[in-house]
Structure 1
């Protein structure tokens, strides 16, 4: 009997732990979704602010398409996250409603038992009847057991009263929580309707813009090819400089110059290790901005038959935006190519960051820079108001996806 009782207690304890774990897990998930929703809302605010700032400018059609694509993507993500929150709240509301029903049934049963106990206690309240109950015992052992029984009965009565109070308070808490959850869900639904309206409006503008571009698709296709050729030209020059720097480092270390990686000094190894350990936590190269073109090969948003090869990311920012070093390092080169804007290259051990399309450069080759130090200013195209920073991240000669390294990119 004792063993069975212990097993039952263990099972009850396990169920309580499981229930608590599920509630904790749901709470964590809800917080994660809310954090993500706020991030997306802030991202939309950044896009709107930058679009408003350049409203007076005649933005290039290509830049507008990139902005529309990104904004539509963020709006879709916001709707998806908000729907997940609403669905999770629905599950929590249903669980709470079931819990309330169960608690009410338990309270009803407890109160009935307690009422019966009080009636019975009242009937035996007479002090004389209690004394007689004890005195009528056949022996001292029986009297002691009866005394223990009376004490246990009184304790049980008190415990029942406390349990009723505790369950009543729990019921009240769940009811309050339930009302808040229903209110939160209604707010999310209302907000999602507004976001849906904004999304439809952005899609309409996007479709109108695409329609106008398709009337003169050859001209825009030519612009895309030209921009790609210019980007490729600069990227080839950067890769040539990195290859030469790798050969030079290996020559100094007495190694084969044909090596594909930097020969690092002890100090450079520490710097590279620190850089790598900050993956996903590195700051943005500009204080305000959003990515209009991501890393990798992708179809053109205007002509799907054309591909965009992006060794890094393109970040739209505000006029006069300062460019910041994303980590401690040394300015290895300032690259100036004819008909192109300057590029600053910073070396962090065997990692290199390249900041393209600058109008001003605040540093010189050989300068030691620190995290978030201003190194220049992003160029603003006077004809259309575009302020775009091209940012590339290398490990030796290999390009890396900046969105995996920069915090919440």
Structure 2
């Protein structure tokens, strides 16, 4: 499907910049899928459009960006069982998760382990419906670390999600392999984790020197972001000192971590869905459940402090730990910990675009940007929860092309 010129009118526009909403708003899109106007309807250009859509008492927003997903894994499926799945069925199941994520209002996503680069190309070439993708392909971890799911006999049941490195030289070689395999960014394990069988969040992962080598190596090959799985305090501080681009999870983020992240402009991606939705005793190994319970309250306290202190935050859900296709519930959890609805929307649009390095193209509804646009029932500035229910996301544009339309059902 090709883009058509559009004249869209709705009760309000929340453009993702953080500016106040525009009432009785209009967005115009040209045939190249680029926004030419976004603002009050009364000031919109009078040029004809191929299609005019009156969206009624609804809200137009930018397409959302989920900065932390695992689309190659089913919800609630431990990484240690990924290798048992039929690869053909995994491919079809992954394609379904891509479509479900797009329908939830996520037009761009950053996959942080387990998704081959071919899926990015499949979306780009229209083979499957899904968010525009950035993928880390695999995760760098030391032996016995967060991404090591090998059995005592050496069998890897994770489907190859981890790339094990134990020296600086091994780190450099692994980064080169990942870049060869099409990685858009590199993910490192700076700490242990909740779901890993051999370590804990307070355990340290890659050393400062090893993470600095990752940063140096990507810099020698044109530059790529480096995302750090970092849950405990020590791993967070090591990752920041190693020069990473983002702290993923950040459960043990203290005042020193907030200070350093703020000083260096490092984003925190809190993945609060793992705390609010990701605790299920019946589906979890006991070690995983016990760690989740132990860290739940501390996580909320620390992320609330980071929000209060203005640490740069981008939205990410860790979808797979939480459900795919309900990504925008993450905004509700940010608001629950003290963020305003307007700032939560910014975290899922402009800030996430800045983290991914695509803010010149997407993340806000402004002239010159691609028309990634979401229309929802109601007013999310009054009730942020409306975005968390995919049925309330009634229309989605990606590059100016309609990918979801429930308007007739809602008429």
Structure having the higher helix fraction is: 1
TM-score using structure 2 length: 0.18
Structure having the higher strand fraction is: 2
Larger Cα Rg: Structure 1 or Structure 2?
1
